[in-house]
Amino acid sequence: MSVQISASMVNDLRQKTGVGLMDCKKALVESEGDIEMAVTALRKKGVATAAKKAGRTASEGLIDQYIHMGGKVGVLIELNCETDFVAKTDDFKALAKDLCLHIAAANPSYLNRDDVPEDLVSKERDIATSQAQGKPPQAIQKIVEGKLDKFFSETCIVDQPFIKDPGKTINELITEKIAQLGENIVIRKFSRFQLGQ
Domain harbouring 185, CATH code: 3.30.479.20
pLDDT(1) > 80: no
26 closest CA partner among 172, 14, 15: 14
77 vs 42, which has greater pLDDT? 77
Mean pLDDT of the 48-73 span? 76
Q: Return d(Cα 26, Cα 47) in angstroms, integer.
A: 17
Q: Return d(Cα 15, Cα 196) in angstroms, integer.
A: 44
Given this model, what pLDDT does residue 175 score? Answer: 87
Are 91 and 184 contained in the same domain? yes
Domain presence at residue 2: no
Q: Return d(Cα 87, Cα 185) in angstroms, integer.
A: 10
17 vs 157, which has greater pLDDT? 157
Domain presence at residue 14: yes
Contact 156, 113 (CB under 8 A): yes
Domain presence at residue 179: yes
Given this model, what pLDDT does residue 190 score? Answer: 95
Per-residue pLDDT band at 78 (split at 50, 70, 90)? very high
Mean pLDDT of the chain: 85
pTM beyond 0.85: the answer is no
Given this model, what pLDDT does residue 179 score? Answer: 82
Which residues on adjacent β-strands are paired with residue 156? Answer: 110
